[in-house]
Amino acid sequence: MPTEKEKMLSGALYTPSDPELRAMSDQAHRLCQEYNQCNATDHDAKAAILKMLIPRQGKGLYIEGPFFCDYGVHINIGDHVFFNFNCTILDTMQVTIGDHCMFGPGVQIYTPLHPMKAAERNTGLEYAKEVVIGDSVWVGGNVTILPGVHIGDNCVIGAGSVVTRDVPANSFAAGNPARVIKTIS
C-alpha cells in the first residue's frame, strides 16, 4: 500500500493532512519563516537556510524574502536563478527550474489541484501535477503558473499572466490565460 507521500508524488489523490506530510510541511514553513526574518545583509545565514529548505539547487540561487513553499524538497533549481520579493512555490509535486531564470515579484507556482466534483473535493483529498521551467526563462511580476505547465527554454512570460498551458521554447507569452504572442528569434 503506497504512503500518502508516494501517492502525492505520483499524481494520485492523497490526504494532505497525513502526519508525515504535515511534519515535512511544518519543517519547510519553519525554514521559510527563518529565511524571511533573516537580516537582509546576512548572506551566509540566508544561503545556509536555503540549502536546508531547497537542497537540490545549483550555484548562485538568490531569493528575496519573503518567500514561501510547501515542502522545498520537491523543488529542483539550476544555476544562477533569481526570485524577486514575495514569491510562492506550492511544491506538492516536483517543480523543476532550469539555469539562468529570473522571476519577478509576486510570482506564484502551483502544483496542487483539487477534484472538480464537490463530493470528492469535500473529502479533503487533492492531487498534483509537476511544473517544469526551462533554461533562461524570464517570468514577469505577478505571474501565476498553474499545475502541469511546462515552459520551454528562452521564454518570456509577461507580467500579470496566468499560465494555464504549456509554452513552447523561444516564445513570449502573456495574458489571462497566457497565450503565445510571438516567437523570440
pLDDT of 99-116, one tens digit each? Answer: 999 999 999 999 999 999
Question: What percent of the chain has a predicted confidence (pLDDT) above 90?
Answer: 99
- Residue 93, domain CATH: 2.160.10.10
Domain interval for residue 27: 4-183
Cα 150 → chain centroid = 12
**pLDDT tier for residue 125 given thresholds of 50, 70 and 90:** very high
Whether the predicted pLDDT of 185 surpasses 90: no
Whether the predicted pLDDT of 72 surpasses 90: yes
The set of catalytic residues is 114
pLDDT of 35-56, one tens digit each? Answer: 999 998 999 999 999 999 999 9
Whether the predicted pLDDT of 130 surpasses 90: yes
Q: Report yes or no: 48 and 35 within 8 Å, Cβ to Cβ.
A: no
Task: Give residue for cell 494555464.
Answer: 164
How many structural domains compose the chain?
1
Average pLDDT, the chain: 97
Question: What percent of the chain has a predicted confidence (pLDDT) above 70?
Answer: 100
DSSP 51: H
Q: Give the C-alpha distances (Å, rounded to integers) separating 9 from 56, 106, 107, 137, 171.
A: 16, 26, 23, 25, 29
Other C-beta atoms closer than 10 Å to the C-beta of 93 total 23
